[in-house]
Chains A and B, each alone.
Chain A
Amino acid sequence: MRDDLINVYKDAPAIFETIKGEISKVVVGQKSVVEQILVGILAGGHTLLESNPGLGKTLLVKTIASTTGLNFSRIQCTPDLMPADITGTTLIEEVEGSKVFRFEEGPIFANIVLADEINRASPRTQSAMLEAMQEKQVTVGKNTYKLEEPFFVLATQNPIEMEGTFPLPEAQLDRFLLKVFIDYPNQEEEYEIMERYTGHAEPKVERVITRRELLSLQQLTRDVPISDDLKSAAIKAVISTRSWEGVEYGVSPRASIGLILASKARALLAGRDYVSRDDLEVMAYPILRHRIILTFDSERRGVTTDQVISDIMKSI
């Protein structure tokens, strides 16, 4: 196992470059978004993607899943989606003349689960995902089924068209390691998208990483050393959110764990064998932004969580 780790560690920069190359065949630009999703995967956390419609959230997740040799499933969330539609259900089957119960696994039994427009699912269905996301197991009736490692939920939601949606409760948002915003492409990227998707040939990606390699990379992520100063800075940032002016509720200790893990993953992704201050500052935004709840007055004044995070990071 140790030799495997050494080999994967040596090959890591090449692996990441290949993955990014394959993704860029399909997704134009959005380098920081791709990087943040890969960080989420390396840190073993779930990612919530938010953008206006048509910016390629689903395409991006499908492409990333295609570059790995992992099982991929997609759940299109709607208000009438039932928990059993996600977790699976018990069926009665006739085997050799007698009737037996058989558990039919739902789409959650995959390595990468794309929960498209998660805020359209009912709270009951959303909460069915909670156990799977946190415990990495599913309980149906009296039976508990372990999910296969690695397991990630990549969920998408769009901030407009709020009619008929059920905004994710704070407890469920906290289970997402990262919340990533996808912005509109710039003019050159828009041109490239138009060129690429108006011809006959559809871009295709190849599988470039195995499940075993991905598990090794996840283990290596946790091994990336971080200095005591940066650990203290992360804790200070997290604690600051709890007493910051204009913040109603600060972040939980899950955020400090996530911040350190995500910083380690970013360092590994960048080919560095240590966490830099830059890693911490960049990862603070996707880690903290969905965990900070602003006061009504702050929201009224148009203050965003990213502005608060920026102020906090400047103060430490």
Chain B
Amino acid sequence: MGVYRRFERSLYLLNAGIIASLIYIAALFLGIAAFFRFYWQDSAFALTPAIFSLTLGLLGAKLLSRWSKSDFFAHLDESLSEKTKTAYDNRNSDSVVMRSLAEDVKRRLSKVGAIDLINNRRLNFGDRSVPIFQAKAGAVILLLTFVAVFSQSQAGEEISPQPFKALTDLRDRAAEIFGEEEELAEDGASAAGISSEIYGKPSLAVLEEVNLELVLYPGSAAGFRSKETDPMDRLFQTSEPGEGVAVPTDLYIESLPPQHREIIKRYFENLATGF
């Protein structure tokens, strides 16, 4: 039975890997992963799509294994299958007939090998001799490689909020539905969880027994995001060439006070002759 359990566990993990990878790839294509990375880039919240995909993968694999477990008894021959199923369902009851059944099932199951309990269809694809186990392992490797390559190519891209418009609208609508009173700021400040109401509102801090008033201005803290604007017209306009006109200026000496003109004149003359 140990071999059978190991086989089941490995299949369960492979199935979980395949389902999780497929869900994560879908999230990548839909831009959900990029959306989380954009708004929560420095937070563990950015890993939400990956964690969600993994959880769904494990749940899906669990459902698959439950479904295939119900088929466990069908691998045995018809009479033993019915016997074993009945004995299993009535394992908590004790009677003369039940004891006889349990003994018989135990005796007959001891002759059944672990490999007989594994449905051949779960080893190979139909009549083709393609082993499912190896094929699933290959699929997991392939999908994970694809995820890695695709994520890497997306990481280098410049991300703008435009692709997430639908998601942002959805988020805004959700906020309205759940009664958030605050209106979302157009500059995207609310995306970081900051309300626009706090801007310009004085707060008080006490530093060495002195009350200090602190004022927070819009754009001065986290939550400042880029915003798409209309393109500006930056064309140069040519103008008519102007006519050059010489304008005579006043002499320096005339700008001096009359009583000091003589002394300043001598100063410069002496300076020129080197005293």
Contacts and interface: CB of A to CB of B under 8 A. Distances in A.
A5 B87 contact: no
A2 interface: yes
Contacts of B203: none
A276 interface: yes
Interface string B232-244: 0000000000000
Contact of B97 (A229, A273, A276): A273
B62 interface: no
B82 interface: yes
A213 to B, nearest CB: 14
Indicate the member of B79, B88, B97, B101 with the most A CB atoms within 10 Å. Answer: B97
Given A5-B96, A225-B89, A273 B82 contact: no
A274 interface: yes
A55 interface: no
Interface residues of A, number: 18
Indicate the member of A220, A225, A229 with the most B CB atoms within 10 Å. Answer: A225
Contacts of B100: 9, 273
A267 to B, nearest CB: 9
Contacts of A9: 96-97, 100
A96 B14 CA distance: 94
Contacts of B88: 227
A113 interface: no
A100 interface: no
B90 A225 contact: yes
Contacts, number: 50
Contacts of A33: none
B144 interface: no
B98 interface: yes
A303 interface: no
Interface in B64-112: 79, 82-83, 85-90, 93, 95-98, 100-101, 104
B86 A226 contact: yes
B87 A274 contact: yes
Interface of A: 2, 5-6, 9, 220, 223-229, 268, 273-277
15 contacts: A2-B96, A9-B100, A223-B95, A225-B87, A225-B90, A225-B98, A225-B101, A226-B86, A226-B90, A227-B88, A227-B89, A227-B90, A229-B85, A268-B97, A273-B83
Given A225-B95, A227-B89, A273-B98, 19 more contacts: A9-B96, A9-B97, A220-B96, A220-B97, A223-B97, A225-B86, A225-B87, A225-B89, A225-B90, A225-B93, A227-B85, A228-B89, A229-B89, A268-B97, A273-B83, A274-B83, A274-B86, A275-B86, A276-B82
